[in-house]
Structure 1
Amino acid sequence: MKPHNRKKLFLIPFGILACLALASYAVMLLWNALLPDILHVGTISYWQAAGIFILSKILFGFGGPRGGGAPWMRRKRMMEEHFRNMGPEERTKFKEQWRDRCNWGKRRWDWQEPKEEAKADN
């Protein structure tokens, strides 16, 4: 690795911290400027804003060039694209497999009703 690349690698954590600090400050300013008047909530400190920002990133994803969004949204998009690329025969076979797997069309309270064998014994 070249020496100037090592310097860049050393600066990456500081850049991430600077972006986090700037985003947290923006969250604090926006929260304190808007939400107390709109929702009648209290103002927040810088560290509370940092916590809200980090929590939102954990819950909703970090975005980025790979499609961004929350992880479950990426999986949903992948499944939709996979389903779009299926042929008609593959699609019907897939639907039948899921219908069997999920017991679609059956009532959820079937377990409460007596079985046919028990009715025949009486």
Structure 2
Amino acid sequence: MKHRRYFFLLFIPVLLAVLAGVVMVLWNAVVPDVFGWRRIAYGQALGLLVLCRILFGGFHFGPRRFGGPFGGPPPHVKEKWMRMSEEERDKFKESWRKRFGG
């Protein structure tokens, strides 16, 4: 278990460095030609990556709130779903289709 923790601690900076490089390459390949803006250096790409993460993704440490990589229903909703009969589930699905056009 200790080895996983150390691997994870080494993996995060490497991943951040690689992503900053990807941002820099993509920016320098597309943005100057399309918008006429200047090219950016590696440090600026790293700052842009962190800024975007703060503005659009936030920093989530620890387990996800509702399970799964894409979230999911809260535990009380999942329990309620599991207690429903097939008829109740079909009725519930139909009401959601009517409400949200599915």
TM-score range, shorter chain: 0.5 to 0.7
Aligned partner of 2:25 in structure 1 is 29
Deviations 1:32-89 (A, max 9, x none): 000001011000001100000010000001588144xxxxxxxxxx9xxxxxxxxxxx
The structure whose RCO (Cα within 8 Å, separation 6+) is larger is 2
With structure 1 as the length reference, what TM-score do the two structures score? 0.48
Distance 2:2 2:28 in 1: 40
Structure 1: runs of 5+ lacking an equivalent: 68-77, 79-122
Aligned partner of 2:48 in structure 1 is 52
In the TM superposition, structure 1's runs of 4+ consecutive aligned residues that sit over 4 Å from their partners are: none
Distance 1:26 1:56 in 2: 14
Give the AA of the match of 2:17.
Answer: A
Q: Does 1:20 find its partner at 2:16?
A: yes
Aligned partner of 2:57 in structure 1 is 61
With structure 2 as the length reference, what TM-score do the two structures score? 0.57
Distance 2:39 2:2 in 1: 42
| Count of matched residue pairs | 65
Give the AA of the match of 1:25.
Answer: G
CA RMSD in angstroms comes to: 2.3
Structure 2: runs of 5+ lacking an equivalent: 75-102
Aligned partner of 1:42 in structure 2 is 38
Distance 1:13 1:6 in 2: 11
